[in-house]
Amino acid sequence: MCGIAGIFGGPDPVLLERMTRRLHHRGPDGHGTAVVGQAGLGNTRLSLLDWEGGAQPMTGRTGLTLVYNGELYNHATLRRSLEQEGVAFQTRSDTEVLLRALEQRGLACLEELEGMFAFAFSDGARLTLVRDAFGIKPLYYALVDGGRRLVFASELKALLVDPALPRELDRTSLFEWATFRFTLGERTLFKAVRQVPPGGTLEVSREPDGTLTLRAGRHSPPRPLPLPEREEDRIKLLRERLTESVRGQWVADHPVGIFLSGGVDSSLLAALLAQGGSREIHTFSLADDPTLPDLAVSRRLSEALGTHHHEYSFEPDTLLESLPRSICSLEAPGEPTIVESAAPLIRNHVKAVLCGDGADELFAGYVIHSLPGPWLKSCMEGYNRMIRTGEIPQDECAAAKASLHAMAVPDPAAAREAVYRFFLEGQLTDAHLRVWDGGSMASGLEVRVPYLDRSVRDVAFALPWEQRIRGRVRKALLREVARKVLPASLAAVIVDRPKLAAPSAVRRTAEALDRAAREILPSDEREPHPLQRYCATPAQRILLDLFVYLFIGRGGDLPEDFRWRELYTTHRRELTEALTRV
């Protein structure tokens, strides 16, 4: 796992070096840069396979140069296939496998890749950016200098190193964030910055007049899958594909662990690993309340599976103090995450850890999937509150309006499918996966997501709704797999009970943030706040102000000894200056 950054259209080696070093936390094991014609490519590396042989940027025999952030779980199979075609390898790294595949097969090789990745490659005349099918790994880009130069990176902070990049907020994205708590499509909170979409490619070339041409493409579409007729056979199929995914993602030259939350999704992954005879398994449970029943269930499962169990409980006040650091890591106005606080501790034991994210989105595990009405009503109320201010241009709210209308159609089947797609294509990528990547990579910890395997996705997409939701039971087929895999003494306890909390959403801390926000927000403001229309609660106002202070004002750099509770006193002048730039 790594951080990548680059420039196309007259690369500046000094700027490239600065952008790359801004990502040091993502890859503390090494870094490198290379200038190839019109392209400058940089990489910081977290080595999990072939420490000596996987250094980047990596240049192939044809002059193609690659920087790559991710893991290819089927790299051994792909290597053997290429060797049969006469391709010789010099290292054991999956980076070289990807490079040789691109040299040998071009972009057609993307359909063969199983993993999580964001990468860039160039022959000096063209640059191509690629992101995995689910968007597990982030990849941002922006055009600067009047469209004559493109910069890209794994994080916004590396792009903001470039003084030519405007730090103007995108009002459409702000409206979406205020409505849904995440942004839609390729937009980001910065007007000048876009993200390569999940399953997307972007080819960049330079025209004779110096301007750049961008051509977007797609890869790895869902594959139609005929399902067996009998439910028992479908359970077997899903179990086999999950087992293959979990074991493939366990491969590394260093110890790998697993987040264990006490719910069905992570418990099933841990049990599959244990049944496969995997080497020493480290499990990690996180909470902001040591009395949560989830923790007790996780302890019992760890004991039954024989794992090395680690439990970390953080007081809400401790998590709240990490709020500025969390916003810098997530690069969004989000609440403090327990993942970001726990990552340094987990990194003492493992370099990579599996998590159960994606199962709810794929197999319809949220209450919203079976009862979307209350959530939709809440979103529409927030939408209407902003519209009633009379300050929202029509184009600013158009995308949010279209999404709400798609999910509010009278046909229940169409509405259900729209909600399913919305959470899979929106919240999963821009909210959940952002938390896992940003929160963990701030400490050089890699999070892997076995449910987000394309072969598992294909099964999930093929399921009829009655095997996603059956009566009041959500994730129906997945629960039946878990019932067969989990230890008999715990199967019913885990499968039939509701899980209370997720590591990225801690209830007590959110409540503490709301109380703190009400205490510190100034009551003597003489001028209307320029972003108040996007804030329904004091906590949202605090989060947005902190984001503006840290990213508009400071480019994502957290000042030493910064105390966020003094934002409206000690740091008020800097905040005001940043808000004027908005």
Catalytic (active site) residue 355: no
Alpha-carbon distance of 564 to 569, in angstroms, equals 10
Residue 90 contacts residue 5 (beta carbons within 8 Å): no
Six token digits for residue 473: 């039971």
In a 13 Å sphere around the CA of 319, the CA atoms on its Cβ side amount to 30
Alpha-carbon distance of 441 to 430, in angstroms, equals 16
Alpha-carbon distance of 262 to 299, in angstroms, equals 8
Residue 443 contacts residue 436 (beta carbons within 8 Å): no
Look-up of token digits 């006469």 = 86
Helix (H) or strand (E) holding 217: strand 212-218
> What amino acid is encoded at 199 in this protein?
G
Q: Count other Cβ atoms within 10 Å, centred on residue 560.
A: 5
DSSP 8-class letter at 551: I
Six token digits for residue 342: 């726990």
| Short-list 341, 262, 342, 264, CA closest to 302 | 262
Residue 72 contacts residue 94 (beta carbons within 8 Å): yes
Alpha-carbon distance of 76 to 459, in angstroms, equals 24
Q: Which of 2, 328, 379, 397 is catalytic?
A: 2
Q: Please name every residue paired with 189 in a beta bridge, in sequence order, or none if there are none.
A: none
What are residue 389's phi and psi, to 5 degrees? -70, -20
Six token digits for residue 116: 């999580």
Helix (H) and strand (E) counts in the chain: 23, 19
Alpha-carbon distance of 512 to 480, in angstroms, equals 38
Dihedral over Cα of 475, 260, 155, 171: its sign? positive
List, as residue ranges, the binding site.
94
Q: Count other Cβ atoms within 10 Å, centred on residue 74.
A: 18
Count the residues in the chain.
582
Conformational region of residue 216, where left means phi above 0, alpha means psi within -120 to 50, and beta covers everything else: beta
Helix (H) or strand (E) holding 448: strand 446-448
Residue 530 contacts residue 389 (beta carbons within 8 Å): no
Q: Output the CA–CA distances (angstroms, integers) from residue 398 to 33, 186, 383, 572, in the order listed.
A: 41, 15, 11, 34
Alpha-carbon distance of 204 to 208, in angstroms, equals 14
List, as residue ranges, the binding site for L-glutamine.
94
| Short-list 362, 440, 365, 351, CA closest to 133 | 362
Residue 189 contacts residue 173 (beta carbons within 8 Å): yes
Q: Please name every residue paired with 200 in a beta bridge, in sequence order, or none if there are none.
A: 218
Six token digits for residue 535: 């804030």
Q: Count other Cβ atoms within 10 Å, centred on residue 202.
A: 22
Six token digits for residue 582: 């908005």
Catalytic residues: 2
